[in-house]
Amino acid sequence: MALTRREMLAGLGAGLALAGPVWSGTTLGAMRIDTLSDGNLALPGDFIFGPMPQQALTPILRKYDLDRDSLTPGCNLTLLRDDERTVLFDAGAGPDFQPSAGKLQAAFDALGLSPDDITHVVVTHGHPDHIWGLLDDFGDPLFAEATHLIGATELDYWLDDTTVDTIGPARQAFAVGAKRRLEALGDRITTFTDGAEILPGVLAHASFGHTPGHMSFELRSGTDAMMVVGDAIGNHHVAFERPSWPSGSDQDVDTAAATRLRLLDRLSTEQMRLIGFHLPGGLGRAEAHGDGYVFLPEAT
């Protein structure tokens, strides 16, 4: 399929037109799936673009109208509801990370929900925009009635006392904040490993690289499925156009690139919908295009 720049940007505009606390909604069998805005991040361009081949990067920046020096990716949490469960994938940034993020309550208000309605919090990984919202202003668990689920490898990494010394100075605050929050949850946390059906219709897939134990989640009802990819596919531009390139946002750039390639191949081949934490509107599809892929947002 040949996509012109205008057609691609028009597709992204369809997703961006959904802007608001609740970006999009769809169904999967008896499950209702919504993507909820937690605001956006403000990042220096080098956080993602730094290790990439700069000359080859320039036309991609132009194609997507991106600023090389700064990025403001949106943050999209996934909410799954059925007759028995209200499941939140990741907890957002909370009030202590960046002033432009931590806006989840507006989405809850729009849906008539409160944190006490959440039965399960499923964590993709331990970066601040994904878990610093686990605690309230008093340092207590915000989702007081919920079971919290996280991959065993990811939990071990952030609770390890040596992580703060090995993660690198730019991410030391990440390690301190993650450890404090995960320790505060104590026995509210349940762990799992690759391939586990952590809840009915929710299958865990190891998608390591962005962090050492990053997990994605296949939501399935019969033959229909979608994938919550977290930050395993971290943006709608370079991650799709050149998935093999190293990204400065990944802790293990080689493993993360291999994970992206594997996920994009499966998602495009099976035409499985995906929800990405930093993709415009969250929900869409991956389609093979030239030497890479393109993100097609789904307006719902």
pLDDT at 22: 82
| 24, 283 Cβ separation under 8 angstroms | yes
Give the pLDDT score at 21: 87
Question: In one letter, which amino acid is 105?
Answer: Q
pLDDT for position 299: 63
- Residue 180's pLDDT is 98
pLDDT, mean of each 10-residue run, the chain (300 residues): 37 43 87 96 97 98 97 97 97 97 96 97 98 96 98 98 97 98 97 98 98 98 97 98 98 98 98 97 94 87
Residue 192 maps to which CATH number? 3.60.15.10
Residue among 242, 243, 217 at smallest CA distance from 230:
217
d(CA 49, CA 57): 8
At residue 23, the pLDDT reads 73
Instruction: Tell me which residue range forms the domain holding 39.
Output: 5-297
| Closest-CA residue to 202 (of 192, 211, 188) | 192
Per the listing, tokens 């586990």 go with: 196
Number of domains in the chain: 1
